[in-house]
């Protein structure tokens, strides 16, 4: 029982630490704030290719979180990076990964693509 409580405490502590770290390194934007700035930035959809093909924000480039480590050199560290995924979880993880590699101007969409009401493009 003690071991289970220790493990549970460690998981909670890690989750809180991750949440606080994420708030420090990536700015969460409302849809209006995101829409106002993403055209002057690198707009990256970190969802998987089939999710991207089903519909994505007009002008977004697809670099799935699973490929981000290998494709990081495609991103310019001197320009803002606007990230989004389906709900906001993967884009937060992507921001942490980018931050560790020296990227600092990071933003992500609150609520993710599922709450997006702006222009959308689908691949046919």
34 is catalytic: no
- Burial bucket for residue 110 (CB in 10 Å: 0-12, 13-18, 19+): middle
Of the candidates 16, 25, 15, 27, the one whose C-alpha atom is nearest the C-alpha of residue 110 is: 27
Picking from 36, 42, 53, 58, the residue whose alpha carbon sits closest to that of residue 91 is 42
CB contact at 8 A, 47 and 83: no
Catalytic residue (choose from 26, 46, 85, 98):
85
- List active site positions: 85
């Amino acid at each position: 029982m003690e071991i289970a409580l220790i493990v549970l405490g460690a998981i909670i502590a890690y989750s809180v630490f991750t949440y606080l770290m994420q708030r420090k390194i990536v700015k969460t934007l409302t849809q209006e704030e995101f829409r106002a700035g993403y055209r002057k930035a690198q707009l990256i959809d970190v969802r998987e290719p089939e999710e991207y093909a089903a519909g994505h924000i007009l002008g977004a480039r697809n670099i799935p979180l699973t490929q981000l480590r290998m494709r990081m050199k495609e991103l310019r560290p001197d320009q803002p990076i606007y990230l989004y995924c389906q709900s906001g979880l993967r884009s937060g993880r992507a921001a942490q990964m980018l931050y560790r590699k020296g990227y600092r101007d990071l933003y992500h969409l609150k609520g993710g693509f599922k709450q997006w009401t702006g222009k959308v493009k689908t691949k046919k």
